[in-house]
Structures are given as C-alpha cells and as structure tokens.
C-alpha cells in the first residue's frame, strides 16, 4: 500500500523552470556566455552550483567567481518565482486527491529550504504537507537518493511504501535509487528521452493522474 506521496518541487508542483532559465541567461551573460533557452534545458534538475560548474567546464570565464554566479542565480530565481510563478497544471488537484485519501505528503527538492518555503507560501499549499525537505541539507544532492531517503525517515515511512513524483531525469534517478515507486512527468521537449524509462509510469501532466493509476501503483512491487 502507498503510505506517503512525495513530490519534487521545481517544474513539478510549481511552474518555475522558465524563471530559472531567464535568470540563468541573464547571469551567464555577465561573464560573456550567451545561452539559449534550449541550452538551459540541458541542466534542468541540477542544483544551482552544479549548473554553474557545468557551463564553466565547457566555457571557462574570468572576472566572477563561480560561487558569486551561483548566488546571483539563486537571488534572481527567488525574486521571480516569489512574484510570478504559479502551480503546474493539475498540481493543486493532485494534492487534494491525496489529502482526501488521508495519505501524508512531502516535498523533496534539490532547491534550498528558503526557496521551498517561498514556493509553499506563494502557492498557498503549506497545509497539505507533513514534511518539506531540501537535498542541500543532505550529504549529496540529486541524483543521489539522500533527499528521498531523508524525507521517508522524517515521515516514518519505508521508502518502498512511498510514491514519488518527478519531472527531471536526475530527480527520477534519486527517487528510483531510494527504492520508491515513481511517476515521471517530463516536460514535452524531453518526454521521449530514455532516461525516464526507469519510472513505473510516465504521464504527460499531473492532470493525467487519476484513481485508476493510483490503484495500479499500489500493486507495484
């Protein structure tokens, strides 16, 4: 039986990925790196510092420390997401679905706790969750399983009895490595990417999740 539902946040519950990309393009431009929206999609799901390292390895710059760029991206993203981001389609209805089943819910995000708190309040969803947890508080961020294992411990639920929802390949690897049942909700541009094949189910949007799929997932070993 599914005893807990655990959700990624960015791009899964909140439509934040476009805001991250806008900020990344602006910040990397200050060191002479002209990125496109498509370029930024390559690093979807990575922690912010890992995004900076990814581009530094491919096009090293001078004049600004990588930590400085990481901080600038975080500050810009916090500002835009806090003012402008809305829920992903189907997100609020899905939270209500699990609430009506009295199944505890949690957030397991690669983002810092400050941003998790910001999004929870921005979307008005605080009362749905028993736990919200940041991978930045664990030894390793996604794709390592640490944040999902830590979230399960905080819920006092076995990972095998948790259902995880993820939109990114790295996040899906994290939940899968933790031994959880998984639903992948990839963005349209990467929906056919084989990295999502490890999910128990792949759906095009949270609006596609229903009671029938829930029952199927309860039988997954």
Q: Is 8 a catalytic residue?
A: yes
pLDDT at residue 120 greater than cutoff 90: yes
Side by side, the strands of the sheet bearing 105-109 are: 131-134, 105-109, 4-7, 162-166, 181-184, 201-202
Q: What is the mean pLDDT of residues 3-27?
A: 97
- Identify the active-site residue in 10, 15, 146, 167: 10
10 is catalytic: yes
On whether the CB atoms of residues 2 and 214 are closer than 8 A, the answer is yes
All structural domains of the chain with their residue ranges: 4-15+86-218, 17-84
Q: Which of 8, 15, 146, 167 is catalytic?
A: 8
Q: Domain 4-15+86-218 class?
A: alpha beta
CA angle 210, 192, 147 (to 5 degrees): 65
Q: Kindly report, residue by residue over 182-192, the tens digit of the pLDDT.
A: 999 999 999 99
The pLDDT confidence band at residue 45, using thresholds 50, 70 and 90, is confident
CATH number for domain 17-84, candidates 1.10.150.240, 2.40.50.100, 3.20.20.140, 3.40.710.10 = 1.10.150.240
């Amino acid at each position: 039986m599914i005893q807990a539902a655990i959700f990624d946040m960015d791009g899964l519950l909140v439509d934040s990925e476009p805001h991250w990309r806008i900020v990344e393009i602006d910040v990397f431009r200050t060191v002479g790196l002209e990125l496109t929206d498509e370029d930024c999609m390559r690093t979807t799901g990575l922690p912010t510092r890992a995004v900076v390292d990814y581009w530094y390895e491919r096009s090293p710059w001078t004049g600004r420390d990588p930590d400085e760029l990481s901080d600038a991206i975080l500050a810009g993203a916090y500002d835009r997401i806090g003012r402008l981001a809305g829920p992903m389609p189907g997100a609020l209805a899905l939270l209500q679905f699990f609430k009506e089943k009295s199944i505890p819910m949690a957030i397991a995000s690669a983002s810092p706790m400050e941003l998790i708190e910001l999004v929870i309040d921005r979307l008005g969803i605080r009362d749905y969750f028993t736990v919200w947890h940041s991978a930045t508080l664990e030894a390793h961020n996604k794709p390592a399983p640490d944040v999902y294992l830590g979230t399960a411990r905080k819920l006092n639920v076995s990972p095998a009895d948790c259902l995880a929802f993820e939109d990114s390949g790295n996040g899906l690897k994290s939940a899968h490595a933790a031994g959880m049942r998984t639903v992948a909700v990839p963005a349209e541009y990467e929906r056919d990417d084989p990295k999502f094949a490890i999910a128990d189910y792949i759906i095009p949007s949270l609006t596609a999740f229903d009671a029938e799929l829930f029952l199927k997932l309860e039988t997954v070993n």
